[in-house]
Chain A
Amino acid sequence: AQSVTQPDARVTVSEGASLQLRCKYSYSGTPYLFWYVQYPRQGLQLLLKYYSGDPVVQGVNGFEAEFSKSNSSFHLRKASVHWSDSAVYFCVLSAYSNNRIFFGDGTQLVVKP
C-alpha cells in the first residue's frame, strides 16, 4: 500500500537556524515526490519536486530536499530559516500505478524570532 509519513507533527526552530523536515514514503514503484507549503487559511504552494536524476533537488526560497531510495525518504532542508517560513509543510507522493495522490499529515513549522 502506498502512504506518506511525516513523523513530526510540529517543529520549532529559532530564526536563522537550519531545518530538516522528515518524510518517509511507502511505494514499490517509481515515486514522484513533492513538498508543498500551506500558509494559514490558504491553498498549497509547491516548494519542489522530484522524479528522477540528482537526488538533491532545489526549490523556492532556499529549500532543498534529498531523495533516498534505500531509506524511502524525501527530507526537506533549509540552511537558515526566516520567521516567514512558519507554515504547514506537506510531503506528497504521486503513485503511477493508480493515479492516486497521497499526502502526509503535515508538519507545522514554528520559527521563533
Chain B
Amino acid sequence: AQTIHQWPVAEIKAVGSPLSLGCTIKGKSSPNLYWYWQATGGTLQQLFYSITVGQVESVVQLNLSASRPKDDQFILSTEKLLLSHSGFYLCAWSRDWGNYAEQFFGPGTRLTVL
C-alpha cells in the first residue's frame, strides 16, 4: 500500500526566516506530485506539480519554490517567509498524469508565520 508522509506536522516561524517542508511517498514508483496551499478558512490553491525527478512546474507564484530531489520526495521552500505564507500546506500524489487521475493527499503541515 502507498503512504504519504509530510513533515513537520506544524511549524511556527518568524517573518523573514527560511522554510523547508517535506513530503515523501512510499510504495509507488514515479508518482506525480503536487503542492497545495490552503489559507485559514479558505480554499486550496495548486502551487506546484512534478511528473519526474528534477522537474517541477510552478502554477502560482507565492515567493515559494519546490524541488524534487528524489523520485519519492517533494520539497517546498523559501528563503524568506512572509506573513501571507501562513496556512495549511498539503502534498498530494497521483498514479497517472491526466485530468482523471485521483489525487491522494497527505495529512498536511500547518504553518504559522509571526
Binding site of A, secondary structure by majority: helix, strand, loop or mixed? strand
User: How does the 8 Å CB contact mask read for A79-99 relative to B, with 1 for contact and 0 for none?
Assistant: 000000000001000111001
B27 within 8 A of A: no
Q: How many A-B residue pairs have CB under 8 A?
A: 50
Tell me whether chain B's interface is mostly helix, strand or loop, or mixed. Answer: strand
Report if A34 contacts B (CB, 8 A). yes
* A: number of interface residues (CB 8 Å): 23
B interface bracket (residues with beta carbon within 8 Å of A): 20 to 34
**Which A residues lie within 8 Å of B107 (CB)?**
42-43
Report if A44 contacts B (CB, 8 A): yes
The yes or no answer to B59 lying at the interface (CB within 8 A) is yes
Q: Nearest residue in B to A49 (C-beta to C-beta)?
A: B102
- Cβ of B87 < 8 Å from any Cβ of A? no
Contacts of B92 in A (CB 8 A): 43-44
- B-side residues, CB < 8 A to A, are 34, 42-46, 49, 57, 59, 90, 92, 99-108, 110
A residues at B contact (CB < 8 Å): 32, 34, 36, 41-46, 49, 51, 90, 94-96, 99-106
